[in-house]
Amino acid sequence: MLAQREILKPVVLNFGFCYNRGQSLGPIAQLVARPHGMGKVRGSSPLGSTFAKASADKSTTMKKNKVIIFDFDGVIVSSCRMSFEINREIITDLEYFEIQNWGEGNVYGRKLRENIDEVKQDEYYFQEYSQRVIVLEPVEGMEEILKKINRLGYKIVIVSSSNRESIESFLKKYLLDKYFVEIMAKDIHTSKVEKFKLILKKYKIKAKETVMVTDTVGDVKEAKEVKIKSIGVIWGLHEAERLEKNGVDFVAEKPEDIVTGMKKLLALN
**Residue, of 247 and 41, whose pLDDT is higher:** 247
CA distance 197 to 194: 5
**Cα angle 193, 169, 159; round to 5:** 10
Kindly report the CATH number assigned to the domain that includes residue 257: 3.40.50.1000
Do the Cβ atoms of 114 and 121 come closer than 8 Å? no
DSSP state of 203: T
Do the Cβ atoms of 81 and 100 come closer than 8 Å? no
At residue 61, the pLDDT reads 45
Closest CA to 220 of 196, 252, 247, 193: 247
pTM score, whole prediction: 0.76
At residue 161, the pLDDT reads 95
At residue 64, the pLDDT reads 81
CA distance 9 to 35: 6
Mean pLDDT, all residues of the chain: 83
Residues in contact with 141: Cβ distance below 8 Å, sequence separation at least 6, in sequence order: 254, 255, 256
Residue 191 lies in a domain: yes
Q: How many CA atoms does the CB half-sphere of 125 hold within 13 Å?
A: 21
Do the Cβ atoms of 198 and 188 come closer than 8 Å? yes
Residue 43 lies in a domain: no
Residue 46 lies in a domain: no
Residue 163 lies in a domain: yes
String of DSSP letters for 128-172: HHHHHGGGS-BPTTHHHHHHHHHHTT-EEEEE-SS-HHHHHHHHH
Is 70 exceeded by the pLDDT of residue 18? Answer: no
Closest CA to 180 of 208, 213, 133, 207: 213
pLDDT digits (tens, 9 = 90+) for 168-223: 999 999 999 999 999 999 999 999 999 999 999 999 999 999 999 999 999 999 99
Average pLDDT of the residues in 20-28: 41
Residue 4 lies in a domain: no
Split into its structural domains, the chain has a count of: 1
At residue 62, the pLDDT reads 55
pLDDT digits (tens, 9 = 90+) for 78-103: 999 999 999 999 999 999 999 999 99
CA distance 111 to 119: 11
Residue 142 lies in a domain: yes
Residue-range definition of the domain harbouring residue 165? 67-265
At residue 209, the pLDDT reads 96
Confidence band, pLDDT 50/70/90 cuts, at residue 36: very low
Residue 219 lies in a domain: yes
At residue 85, the pLDDT reads 97
Residue 38 lies in a domain: no
